[in-house]
Amino acid sequence: MNNDSSSRIVTRLKDWIAGAAPGAKLPSTRHLVAEYQASPVTVQKALRTLMGQGLIESRPGVGTFVRAYRTARPSDYGWQTAALRAAQTARPLSSGAMRSAPNDVIAFHSGYPDRELLPERLVRAALLRAARGDAAMSRPPAQGLPELQTWFAQELSTSTPVGVTPPQPSDVVILPGSQSGLSSIFRGLVGHGQPLLVESPSYWGALLAAGQAGVTMIPVPSGPEGPDPEELDRAFEESGARLFYAQPNFANPTGAQWSAERGEEVLEIVRRHGAFLVEDDWAHDFGITASSVPMAAKEDSGHVVYIRSLTKSVSPSIRVAAVIARGPARERIMGAQAAESMYVSGVLQAAALDVVTQPGWQTHLRGLSHQLQSRRDLLVTSLREHVPQAHISHLPKGGLNLWLRMPDGFDVHQLTRDCEAAGVLIAAGTEWFPAEPEGPHIRLNYAGPNPGRFPEGARIIGEAVKAQLGA
């Protein structure tokens, strides 16, 4: 009987709720007992059923109310189609390399080093000290903390040869990450609709920043030794470009490092055309069997705009970078940067400076080099065993990535989907080309988590490759 009575009350109250306004108060339990001639236990059971169905909600000490919910309906954003017009760039607004990965997958896709490769103890201590200092409550100068400007300038000065004027702290502008700096450089030094020369392949984030700045990207083919000087000279001549974006040391994605001779050739071409070389030294701290020797250290007439970030080597949460530019170019970049970000958090700047000036920083970098080498070699060995169809053009002397050339006609996007279904994340190489890719490539990060599973990941990639090739 109680069950029948409870069901009867539920049915009757549903009819009442359907006609009531959201938030309406239900009659009291005493009133319901009297109205339905049921026991308090039966009424309470009916109310619990309605609560479980999400129709009512109880507010202790106040009463029971009709849940205030709204029926979901599709939103109409059609007006935005007319307001936004056609997109200025067809490039995706993010990259597969930025995807978060579950703990149970083998992650080769990311562009960041694993947490165990970061100076966690130094970072935590630095953030605590920065939070207790004046930086927590004061606005830093627009160009950055003077002490951090000095550190970046001195870092570049250590590679400056005799006879070349080293950069001054006043040439340094502190940035909220190198991505922000690239956007400011392209807006300030190139401008909308103007040509920009870029290595091909090149860093996907730079291509995104260039696309958003509205510049016209002109690819310059670049291999293990860097860009072809004749192709670079011809691209300057034909396009009238005045800026060339490149990564001379441990390029992302290829890992290429220019020789000293190639660097001199490039500088000569840049000078002859009255142009700028934007040198992205993103992997300065990730040398393995070679060190990063910046081009900017060899040139003091303002032709090289140098950008270096601490985000990858210190912590993803410490988004601090610097651009070093001499002459009016620095003022143009600062102007473009001010439109995007007035200044960089003083706490982050103080923490970054604290980390890189600790004695433990150099000790950490020496250990990091050995760890990267063992991870790189393990992945290369595993790939040569399980994925012989993939060609590794060269063994990178630094950086975080391996660049693999797949057989002609290979569908790298299908490969990424097949690998993901099997628990392995990889990055298709198409994102790193400013125009059509010259061939099918994939990029694998050997600085990712759990290197003990690298052989397993290579085996899974190899099985997916065989399945696509029908082998």
Cα separation of 366 and 363, whole Å?
5
Please state, for a pLDDT cut of 90, what percent of the chain lies above it. 74
pLDDT digits (tens, 9 = 90+) for 155-186: 999 999 999 999 999 999 999 989 999 999 99
Question: What size, in residues, is the chain?
Answer: 471
Cα separation of 94 and 91, whole Å?
9
- What three-state secondary structure class fits 172? strand
- What three-state secondary structure class fits 4? helix
Q: How many CB atoms lie within 10 A of CB 233?
A: 19
Break the chain into its structural domains and give their ranges. Answer: 5-66, 96-115+361-469, 119-358
The DSSP result for 198-239, as a single string, is: EEES--HHHHHHHHHHT-EEEEEEEETTEE-HHHHHHHHHHH
Q: How many CB atoms lie within 10 A of CB 98?
A: 12
Quote the pTM value.
0.81
Bridge partner residues of 226 (DSSP) = 223
Average pLDDT over residues 352-361: 96
At residue 278's C-alpha, the angle toward residues 208 and 337, to 5°, is 65
Confidence of residue 76 (pLDDT cuts 50, 70, 90): confident
pLDDT digits (tens, 9 = 90+) for 318-353: 999 999 999 999 999 998 888 777 889 999 999 999
CATH architecture group of domain 119-358: 3-Layer(aba) Sandwich (3.40)
Cβ(369)–Cβ(399) below 8 Å = no
Predicted pLDDT at 406: 94
pLDDT digits (tens, 9 = 90+) for 368-408: 999 999 999 999 999 999 999 999 989 999 999 999 999 99
- Of 76-85, 204-213, 291-300, 352-361, the range with the lowest mean pLDDT is 76-85
Do the domains at 5-66 and 119-358 have one common CATH topology?
A: no
Decide if pLDDT at 467 tops 70: yes
Decide if pLDDT at 53 tops 90: no
pLDDT digits (tens, 9 = 90+) for 200-256: 999 999 999 999 899 999 999 998 889 999 999 999 999 999 999 999 999 999 999
- Placement of tokens 């007439």 in the chain: 301
Average pLDDT over residues 44-48: 91
Predicted pLDDT at 1: 42
Confidence of residue 411 (pLDDT cuts 50, 70, 90): very high
CATH architecture group of domain 96-115+361-469: Alpha-Beta Complex (3.90)
Cα separation of 407 and 471, whole Å?
13
Residues 6+ apart with CB under 8 A from 420: 105
Cβ(282)–Cβ(447) below 8 Å = no
* E strands in 359-412: 391-392, 401-405
CATH 1.10.3720.10 fits 5-66, yes or no: no
Please state, for a pLDDT cut of 70, what percent of the chain lies above it. 93
Cα separation of 46 and 10, whole Å?
5
Decide if pLDDT at 415 tops 60: yes
